[in-house]
Chains A and B, each alone.
Chain A
Amino acid sequence: MCATCGCSGGAVLQLLPAAHQHGHSGDREHVSSHEHSHDPGHEREHGHEHGHGDPGHIHIQVPADNERTVVLQQKVLAKNDELAQRTRHWLRARGVLAVNLMSSPGAGKTTLLERTARELAGKLRLSVIEGDQETALDGERIRAAGAAVVQINTGAGCHLDAAMVAEGLRALDPPSGSIVVIENVGNLVCPALFDLGEEAKVVISAVTEGADKPVKYPNMFRQADLVLVNKTDLLPYVDFDVRSHAADLRRVSPTALMVQLSATTGEGIQAWYDWLRRRTPAPHE
């Protein structure tokens, strides 16, 4: 069972190397946790020893009966948050931009990443941590588009957590100056709670969904740095008011940037690429 939150116990990780790499297409690699000496997972293990293991001293009060109160004052997500913070430091030190991409199922996360991988090939190095409850179908789509992928199946879990992402990064070993997009499990509720160590959170709202998604799922949209309104090619056929969506987004997050695009036709997608490029660190020598 995952020490962070329990639900990742059934998580299965599968490395799908980029389609253009030689010899390993579709190979399943079982990733050892002892491959690299400076990966985030190892730092996590050290953290267990002396980091969050002692969040303050234990104060024991003795009540009259034979029960005693032990004061813990411990954050339930402390382990996850501390590991995420270590991952963030590791990514920054290496010069890698990590983006946590979230939406409801079917909003177009994988389609967006397929096009992004194809169109940025040779311009920006992109790799993907792909989270789904089951199957490597999405990971295969991304791999076929030319990006290196780690597929994580969460089993019963409804979100990715920091431990899964740390393990995914260890398997991906992303180069300096590159981008890692973490495609979270399709869900607008649970992923909002789990810091993964990303630099930015991106939420997709598709025009085939209700325009009121930001106010229905305020915890998710409040944290978004960028909101992509996807499937704009379908706007003539659906009842989606872009202006009311923008107004609802302002109500929960006055600072989030909103970009309209179609991952299918490519309309408006340059703004997404520009956003990524602006945030991508220069490769270290």
Chain B
Amino acid sequence: MHELAITEGVVDAVTGRLPGSRITCVRLEIGALSGVVADSVRFCFGLVTEGTDLQGARLEITEPPGRCKCRVCGSEFEPDGPILLCPCGSADISILNGQDLKITSVLVA
């Protein structure tokens, strides 16, 4: 359940950047290959924000898909699930996109 720690990290980051502001919405980007489960973050968010400047804030999550490049055939592809296999069969790939886990923006009242 690292999502609890991750969600606490979100609260710390927002309150650290905008101390004393009342936050009404937090927008997160959780890439498909980030290793973080968006639903678990949603579950933790209400608990973690209680008593903070983020209490009652809405949580909006976008989940950009993964994007990989095959080192063997050179093609780019969107992986089908967490095992990153190129359609050519190669597992020798680099990840171009989808690993990000970031706070894109917040709404302040």
The reply to whether B8 and A68 form a contact with Cβ atoms under 8 Å apart is: no
The reply to whether A218 and B92 form a contact with Cβ atoms under 8 Å apart is: no
Question: Is B20's beta carbon under 8 Å from chain A?
Answer: no
Which one, B8, B14, B84, contacts A5 given CB within 8 A? B8
User: Interface on B for A, CB 8 Å cutoff?
Assistant: 1-2, 4-14, 16-18, 21, 24-25, 28, 35-36, 48, 82-85, 90-92, 100-109
Question: Is A66's beta carbon under 8 Å from chain B?
Answer: yes
Could you pull out 17 A-B pairs where Cβ atoms are within 8 angstroms?
A1-B12, A5-B6, A6-B4, A6-B11, A67-B25, A69-B105, A70-B106, A71-B105, A72-B13, A72-B104, A72-B105, A73-B105, A76-B102, A79-B9, A159-B2, A218-B82, A254-B90
Which residues from B are CB-within-8-Å of A1?
8, 12
Question: Is A93's beta carbon under 8 Å from chain B?
Answer: no
Which residues from B are CB-within-8-Å of A73?
102-105
Q: Which of A6, A66, A194 has the most CB of B within 10 A?
A: A6
The reply to whether B9 and A6 form a contact with Cβ atoms under 8 Å apart is: yes
Residue of A nearest to B1 (CB): A158
Which residues from B are CB-within-8-Å of A137?
none
Which one, B5, B24, B25, B106, contacts A6 given CB within 8 A? B5
Which residues from A are CB-within-8-Å of B90?
254
Given known A-B contacts A72-B106, A75-B102, A254 and B91 have beta carbons under 8 A apart: yes
Residue of B nearest to A252 (CB): B83
Residue of A nearest to B95 (CB): A222
User: Interface on A for B, CB 8 Å cutoff?
Assistant: 1, 3-8, 53, 58, 66-80, 156-159, 161, 189-190, 192-194, 215, 218-219, 222, 250-255
A249 to chain B, nearest CB (A): 9
The reply to whether A6 and B12 form a contact with Cβ atoms under 8 Å apart is: yes
Which residues from A are CB-within-8-Å of B100?
75
The reply to whether B83 and A67 form a contact with Cβ atoms under 8 Å apart is: no
Which residues from B are CB-within-8-Å of A194?
2
The reply to whether B107 and A250 form a contact with Cβ atoms under 8 Å apart is: no
B107 to chain A, nearest CB (A): 5
Residue of B nearest to A253 (CB): B91
A9 to chain B, nearest CB (A): 9
A8 to chain B, nearest CB (A): 8
